[in-house]
Amino acid sequence: MQEGGYRKVHWRYRGDLGMWMFLLHRLTGVGIFAFLLVHIVDTSLIGWSPRAYDHLVWLYHHPVFRLGEILLLGAVLFHALNGVRVVIMDFAPALTVYNRQLIAGVVGAFSVLFLPSAVIMFRYMLQSGETLSMGSLLEWRAWLPAVASAFAVAAVSVPSLTLPRPQPPARPVGGVEFLGWAFMRVSGILLLFLVLGHFVIMHLMDGGVNRVNATFVAQRWANFGWRVYDFLMLALAMGHGVWGMRTVLLDFIHRPTRRFWALATLYTLSGVLLALGALVLLTFRP
């Protein structure tokens, strides 16, 4: 069946291991992008009111958010490692026959890196002022943001597996699509080091987020090198996330008008938050 010069392909989950990886990569990517937008807003508070920033960080010490922090690490690790697998197959197509071995490598590396890190973060959670109790875990107000985020991620990600999708060439030959394809690979490799390094510093060293407050951020940004580090991470992560979300939206929004407004909303919201994050990062005075 032909439509617009492309063969229509129904990407339905049929139990294949590669489809599981595709689904998890998309779910984690959308979830990380949603967190990035929220994280830019909460970090930007320090530029206007360090006291408000400290209050927000204190709220994040709730056990539900701390468990969410561990899940975030899992999402970042899986997305990064599976992205490396995708890049390897992009630049060495002959290795596609070893896809199952590469997937096993991703799962193995994920387990080795995630499990000890999760234990460290869980211990930091127990050392914080908030105690992990059944009452805190059953408090519905604490779980509401997490549940809402999960439904939002699923609403964006899962439909793309069941709707018709044009099958383009594996590697665009030129133009904007090729630039986007290349940027996703280059930025993904750079972010592998930038984001995971940031996660180690902020979440795994010296008590993790237990020590994070306005004073900690001010001391960090007093060093110009850390500002450059954070700005590169912000710019690359936002660009990577926007192009990835563009791909997701184009997968299952086909009407030109809806596609226009969806992309316009994505670009506008992301541009405003990128400008906000860069403004605070570059103009903040401890």
Q: What is the pTM of this model?
A: 0.81
Q: Indicate the angle between helix axes 17-44 and 63-91, nearest 10 degrees.
A: 130
Residue 39 has pLDDT above 80, yes or no: yes
Q: What residue segments make up the domains of the chain, in order of their start?
A: 2-283
For residue 49, what pLDDT is reported?
Answer: 85
Sheet containing strand 2-3, strands side by side: 2-3, 6-10, 164-166
Backbone angles phi, psi at 107, to 5 degrees: -65, -40
Q: What is the pLDDT of residues 190-244, one digit of tens each?
A: 999 999 999 998 888 888 888 888 899 999 999 999 999 999 999 999 999 999 9
Q: What is the pLDDT of residues 85-106, one digit of tens each?
A: 999 988 888 888 888 899 999 9
Residue 187's Cα: distance from chain center in Å? Answer: 13
Contacts of 183 (CB under 8 A, 6+ apart): 239, 240, 243
For residue 119, what pLDDT is reported?
Answer: 92
For residue 18, what pLDDT is reported?
Answer: 78
Which region among 100-114, 124-138, 215-229 has the lowest average model confidence (pLDDT)? 124-138
For the residues 3-18, what does the mean pLDDT come to? 51
Q: What is the pLDDT confidence band of residue 59, given thresholds at 50, 70 and 90?
A: confident
Q: What's the CATH code, domain 2-283?
A: 1.20.1300
For the residues 257-277, what does the mean pLDDT come to? 95
